[in-house]
Amino acid sequence: MKWGLVKICSLGRPEDARAARAAGVDLAGMIFAPARRQITPEVAEAIVAALREGPDAAPQAVGVFVNEAPDRMNALAERLDLDLVQLSGEEPPETIAALSRPVIKTLRLRPGTNPADARRLAEQYLAAPVPPVALIVEGWIPGAPGGTGHVADWSLAAVLAAEYPVILAGGLRPENVADAIRAVRPLGVDVSSGVEVPGAVGVKDHARIHAFAAAARAAFEAEQRASAPDPVVATRADRSDGSTVALLKETRKIDRSMGIEERS
């Protein structure tokens, strides 16, 4: 998956899907697990159709499940033509091999989890015969698989993001997503409640969707520029390297013409 992904999760209406598409998001999630934002397959069909309206590239449709049977996940993925499946429960690594779509696996790290334990958990999945394409690091609330607005541990997420394909979720909003990207440098960012209409669970605020996507894009681009080598320095280094190589070649030619053996 490319760096700089933006995911809007818990879509519940076709008009929200159109707003996500217009904002240029990469991934659009729909909840099929028992939760406040759960939708029916019939509503999901309308959302997927809205995501794919028009000639431009559509956001990838992600089905979000919690401890669901693989057969049901595969059936819904086929019916809705999902692009990806997100596992947000306690699914073991071997579940991924039973699914017909690429998988994103959510990691909900309890407060106090140390980096070594977080790495071990991540590697349980990434070392599986069929690994997930990315890991979501989510905020932790007892008994809640996500969508709580609880901020994840950015320091711990940064440790994982430096080594693994991590999408940061949990408590992100248009107002803090740039800070999160600077602190964590994740593969992508994921928002749900942070772009909802206040007091209306599952109803997205279209202006906030656009604001979130724009702020995330700007922050990812800034991080990419900051990590890129200085073009002037790189050019000078290339020229220097080229001059050095040419000088060495010329010296060897002179040595050979004078009958001097090359040193090993």
**What separation in angstroms does the CA of 223 have from each of 16, 115, 149, 152, 160?**
29, 24, 25, 20, 17
- Residue 139's pLDDT band (cuts 50, 70, 90): confident
In sequence order, the β-bridge partners of residue 104 are 86, 134
| Buried-exposed string 38-56: b where 16+ CB fall within 10 A, e elsewhere | bbeeeebeebbebbeeeee
- Residue 110's pLDDT band (cuts 50, 70, 90): confident
Q: Which two tokens stand for residue 177?
A: 């997503």
Predicted structure pTM score: 0.84
pLDDT digits (tens, 9 = 90+) for 213-261: 999 999 999 999 998 776 554 444 444 344 433 433 343 443 444 444 4
Residue 79 has pLDDT above 90, yes or no: yes
Alpha-carbon distance of 153 to 143, in angstroms, equals: 18
Residue-level pLDDT at 11: 98
**What separation in angstroms does the CA of 248 have from each of 192, 238, 240, 262, 264?**
60, 15, 12, 12, 14
- Residue 145's pLDDT band (cuts 50, 70, 90): low
Alpha-carbon distance of 9 to 204, in angstroms, equals: 10
- Local structure of 245: helix, strand or coil: helix
Residue 146 has pLDDT above 70, yes or no: no
